[in-house]
Amino acid sequence: MEFLAVGQEMPLMEKLGILANSAKYDVACTSSGVDRKGNGVDMGNCVAAGICHSFSSDGRCISLLKILLTNECIYDCKYCLNRCSNDVPRATFTPDEVCTLTVEFYRRNYIEGLFLSSGILNNPTFTMELIFRTIWLLRKKYRFNGYVHVKAIPGADPELIRRTGFLVDRMSINLELPTAEGLRTLAPNKHRKSILTPMRQIQNGITANKNDLVLYRNAPTFVGGGQATQMIIGATPENDYQILNVAESLYQKFDLKRVFYSAFVNVTGDKQLPALPGGPPLLREHRLYQADWLLRFYGFKASELLDEKRPFFNVMLDPKEDWAVRHLDQFPVEINRAPLEQLLRIPGVGVKSAQRIVAARRSANLTFADLKKIGVVLKRALYFITCGGRMMYPVKLEEDYIVRNLTEKQERIRFGSDGMSYRQMSLFDVGNFGQPVTVTDRIQAAAGQL
Amino acid sequence: MTVYRCKDSLESIFTAIYLAYEEKRNHWDTCINLTDEPVLFAEDVYVEPDQVKMNKVMRSLHRMFGEKDYLSLCMALASRDEGKAQAVYRTVVDGLAMKRKAGHLFDNLANDEVHHAFALARLVGREIGHLREFVRFRELENGVLCSDIEPENNVVAFLMPHFSDRLPQENFMICDGRRGIFAIHPAGRQWYLFYGEEGQGPLPFKESAQEQAYQELFKYFCHKIAIEERKNPKLQRNMLPLRFRKNMTEFLQNE
């Protein structure tokens, strides 16, 4: 590795280790949202769906080269590994190192692009300028045309954020904690206002740029992949209802592409943070993501899923099942007639299957077997649907009964080996009937004991 | 009953579809078979692959059903399933009979054959998607990027448009070790396929001087980016099936 070492500094390997380790708690790192063909000369293109190139041992995708430019930081946020009062090894990449790593990894199809964040070095504007220079170098000198995602540093000069926006595909500013009080206690150097101001600036920039692109086809794109943010879940006492409401208003008022939720991992051991003996709140994070999808693709509202009286998600049922069970007056839904919006609200029916149902029922009357082919998860959906006016099995439309069947594994209706059969149990299914008759049985039968 | 006997190639299967229409067969009493399995009371027709007929069929399918559905048909034909030719044939018959518009060829999923073709296309599409992610190039001594894959279906040709768009100025090749197909992309020019011998292992080329260093860097990165508290190997296996790992840099053990 000697040849990769730069001058008297620490070897590249060590730097990469430190700065990847510092960046790993940032979750806003998909490579989606931009569809850009290669230009035939420079290296790189982008695919709208995003491409995950690998999966680490925690099951999260490795899509972008996720690193910090530096993990030196002047801030002292209580939850952060890189807080200035934490004694960890510090390192800083030079812009050329970041570019070389990105380009060489990209050529080998290891990564989809670069995710660059940074600790605050000197002051926000200085840090933002470092990021801008690095990305400029990557785009102009190394001619990299792949996906680039950078963090906008709250409090940095707006002009720098604007210029960086023209070079990157996605920008994000972390909201960190859902409420202003939480932010005040755990991140004393960050303020709600300083986070939302650049977020608004980027939103306005994207809108203005869209109008420009209509007029001038070759105008440069500003943050084509939209902006994202992340919230830490479980470090402060906010409930799910608050978090979901914040997410909803971010989608509506700030036009965010994604809100990410990061289950809190206590890495600093600060006394103001919860201890979490059972590990990070992964189930809670999962439920929030499920609800997030319901908000974005299924036409749900936050107020439908939760309210002030029940501010947390059901642990046993997913948010859609939970909603359906509480609104049994709207079920069962007739598959062959219901409009798309209603199909989307059935547990076990996703966006794809709902669209396929709508397409397929034009040519045929759908049965339960067809639904299975289409990809509907019948074990969840069967309580809520009818095909041609019939339910799959005689099912009671009762809250208790459905919840019991949706949750307890033993109670669930068992599917036959072919996946579709459900035989009525008969008297002869009782276990003892299958066994051969023994001598004792005969004697007992003859003696009238049996 | 008429049975068209084909080879496992686009050319052969599309020619058979052309013949079925040209000879005005009853489509419900005709099938296309890739095997030599005899069928009772059937008239066997051995299909001679014909490039002109193939092109005609491809052009009309493309025109009538649109780019996306046409590609799906081709993907279904790239699968290793033996019933693929019949499924695609019936799907085309259904599409033409019902005068389906572009993008609606696979709407009638209640039809078994259409569903079969749809499922095959989806399966192959998934493998293409996986390989787009999991192909790993290594740099050889002469600067050529080389990748070995062993896909279950014949998908190399579907991978190349993506990579040649992405790395236009690189010399690279992808080798399908299982079928002995090499897809080669010379820098700045059109890619092409080269058919070698089946069942050959990774190519014994020497790697460039810095290749090992970048492989180590990436392995280290993958190791460092994982959060220990969230460890979840089952999820990892779900997302990245084990069969892909033997050709992936980050999972290779050092000798």
If asked whether residues A221 and A364 sit together in one domain, one would say no
Give the integer Cα–Cα distance in Å for B27 and B91. 11
Q: How far apart are CA B167 and CA B147, in angstroms?
A: 14
Minimal Cα–Cα distance from B41 to chain A, Å? 31
Going by the DSSP 8-state scheme, the letter that residue A298 receives in this structure is S
Interchain contact A124–B (C-beta under 8 A): no
Q: Is the pLDDT of residue A422 over 70?
A: no
Residue A414: which pLDDT band, with cuts at 50, 70 and 90?
very low
* Torsion angles phi and psi, residue A312, rounded to 5: -120, 155
Q: Which two tokens stand for residue B165?
A: 């768009």
A373 touches chain B (CB under 8 A): yes
The answer to whether position A445 is within a domain reads no
Q: Which tokens in the block code for residue A415?
A: 């599917």
DSSP codes of every residue in A306-363? --SSS-S--SSS-HHHHHHHHTGGG-SEETTT--HHHHTTSTT--HHHHHHHHHHTTT
* Confidence category of residue A447, pLDDT binned at 50, 70, 90: confident
Do A228 and A299 fall into the same domain? yes
Contact yes or no for B221 and A21 at CB 8 A: no
Q: Chain A: nearest CA to B214, how far in angstroms?
A: 8
H or E element that contains A147: strand A147-151
Are A163 and A118 members of one domain? yes
Residue type, A64: L
Q: Pick the range with the lowest mean pLDDT from A82-86, A434-438, B68-72, B164-168.
A: A434-438
The per-residue pLDDT for A176 is 87
B239 and A17 within 8 Å at the Cβ level: the answer is no
Is the pLDDT at A450 greater than 70? The verdict is no
Q: What is the pLDDT of residues B8-52, one digit of tens each?
A: 999 999 999 999 999 999 998 999 999 888 888 899 999 999 999
Residue in the structure block whose two tokens are 């009853």 = B26
Statement: residue A164 has pLDDT above 90: yes
- C-alpha separations of A329 from A324, A397, A398, A404 in Å: 9, 9, 10, 18
- A396 or A1: which carries more pLDDT confidence? A396
What distance, in Å, lies between the first and last C-alpha atoms of chain B? 59
ipTM over 0.90: yes
When pLDDT is averaged across residues A114-143 and rounded to a whole number, the result is: 94
Instruction: Give the pLDDT confidence score for residue B182 in this predicted structure.
Output: 93
Instruction: Please report residues of B whose CB lies closer than 8 A to that of A352.
Output: none
Alpha-carbon torsion B47, B53, B58, B63, what sign?
negative
Could you tell me if residue A160 is inside a domain? yes
Whether residue A164 contacts residue A132, with contact meaning beta carbons closer than 8 Å, is answered with yes
Q: Are residues A43 and A105 in the same domain?
A: yes
DSSP letter at A154 equals T
CB A191 within 8 A of CB A221: no
Across the interface, of B109, B162, B228, the residue whose CB is closest to A370 is B109
Q: How far is Cα A64 from Cα A189, in angstroms, rounded to an integer?
A: 28
For residues A108 and A100, the answer to whether their CB atoms sit within 8 Å is no
**For A81, which DSSP code?**
T
Residue A29 maps to which CATH number?
3.20.20.70
Residue A439 lies in a domain: no
Angle of helix A282-297 relative to helix A240-254, nearest 10 degrees, comes to: 40
Q: Tell whether A130 and A203 lie within a shared domain.
A: yes
Locate the chain A residue with the closest alpha carbon to B230: A58
Is the Cβ–Cβ distance between A424 and A430 less than 8 Å? no
pLDDT, tens only, A14-34: 999 999 999 999 887 788 889
Residue with tokens 């992405």: B166
Does residue A441 fall inside a structural domain?
Answer: no
Tell me how many domains chain A contains.
2
Q: Could you tell me the two tokens for A387?
A: 């095909």
Chain A residues close to B169, C-beta within 8 Å: 41-43
Res A213 pLDDT > 70: yes
- Same domain flag for A238 and A376: no
Asked if residues A119 and A71 have their Cβ atoms less than 8 Å apart, the reply is yes
* Structure tokens belonging to residue A51: 């491409």
Q: How far is B28 from chain A (nearest CA, A)?
A: 18
Place of tokens 């670069």: A114
Same domain, A290 and A338: no
Is residue A21 in a domain? yes
Cβ-based contacts under 8 A for chains A and B: 160
d(CA B186, CA B174): 12
Q: pLDDT (tens digit, 9 = 90+) per residue, A256-283?
A: 999 999 999 988 888 888 888 888 999 9
Q: What is the residue whose two structure tokens read 């209603």?
A: A342
The letter for the amino acid at B200 is Q
CA-CA distance, B17 to B15, in Å (whole number)?
5
Q: Which pLDDT does position B155 carry in this prediction? A: 95
- Looking at the domain assignment, is residue A437 inside a domain? no
Q: Where are the domains of chain B?
A: 2-126, 135-251
Q: Do B239 and A52 touch (CB under 8 A)?
A: yes
| CA dihedral for A28, A34, A40, A41, sign (positive or negative) | negative
Domain identity same for A139 and A29: yes
Note whether A113 and A160 are same-domain residues: yes
Q: Which of B135, B217, B230 sits opposite A16 (nearest CB)?
A: B217
Chain A stretch 277-306, residues whose beta carbon is closer than 8 A to a beta carbon of chain B: 279-280, 282
Span B102-143, pLDDT tens digits: 889 998 888 899 999 999 999 999 999 999 999 999 999 989
Q: Which residues of B touch A110 (CB under 8 A)?
A: 136, 218, 249-250
Q: Which of A3, A6, A55, A276 would best serve as a mutation to test chain B binding (most B beta carbons within 10 A)? A: A55
- pLDDT value at residue A230: 92
User: Which residue bears the tokens 């990410």?
Assistant: A260
Q: Is residue A246 part of a domain?
A: yes
Nearest CA in chain B to A60: B236
Q: Say if A448 falls within a structural domain.
A: no
* Best to test chain B binding among A29, A39, A58 (most B CBs inside 10 Å): A58
Residues A303 and A377 in one domain: no
- The per-residue pLDDT for B39 is 87
Amino acid identity of B125?
Answer: G
**Average pLDDT over all residues of chain A:** 88
Stated length of chain B: 255
- Say how many residues make up chain A: 450
Which residues in B lie closer than 8 A to residue A29 (C-beta atoms)? none
Do A336 and A270 share a domain, yes or no?
Answer: no
Cα–Cα distance for residue pair A16/A398, rounded to 1 Å: 56
Q: How does B155-168 read in b/e, with b if 16+ C-beta sit within 10 Å?
A: bbbbbbebbbbbbb
Structure tokens at A157: 């000069």
For residue A363, what are the domain limits? 320-431
Measure the CA–CA gap between A152 and A138, rounded to whole angstroms.
Answer: 17
Which one-letter DSSP state was computed for residue A241? H
Residues of chain B contacting A1 with CB distance shorter than 8 Å:
213, 216
pLDDT reading at A433 higher than 70: no
Span A297-301, mean pLDDT?
94
pTM of the model: 0.87
Single residue among A273, A297, A313 that ends a domain in this structure = A313
Indicate the residue of A53, A54, A58 with minimum beta-carbon distance to B227.
A58
Q: How far apart are CA B40 and CA A260, in angstroms?
A: 61
Burial class of residue B8, CB neighbours in 10 A (0-12, 13-18, 19+): middle
- Give the pLDDT confidence of B216-235 residue by residue, as tens digits: 999 999 999 999 989 999 99
By C-alpha distance, which of A243, A108, A432, A186 is closest to B213?
A108
Instruction: Find, in chain B, the residue whose alpha carbon is nearest to that of A366.
Output: B110
- Does residue A424 sit at the B interface (CB-CB below 8 Å)? no
Arithmetic mean of pLDDT over chain B: 92
Provide the token pair at A136: 């400029």
Structure confidence by residue, pLDDT tens digits, A348-377: 999 999 999 999 998 889 999 999 989 999
Backbone φ and ψ of A171, nearest 5°: -125, 150
Among residues A248, A279, A313, which one ends one of the domains? Answer: A313
A7 has a pLDDT exceeding 60: no
A57:B236 CB<8 A: yes
Residue for token pair 């005709």: B30
B227 chain-A contacts, CB cut-off 8 A: 24-25, 58, 60, 265
Smallest CA–CA distance, residue A277 to chain B, in Å, is 11
Instruction: Kindly state whether residues A324 and A309 are assigned to the same domain.
Output: no
For residue A55, the one-letter residue type is: F
**Residue A424 buriedness (CB in 10 A; 0-12 / 13-18 / 19+):** exposed
How many angstroms separate the CA of residue B161 from the nearest CA in chain A?
Answer: 11
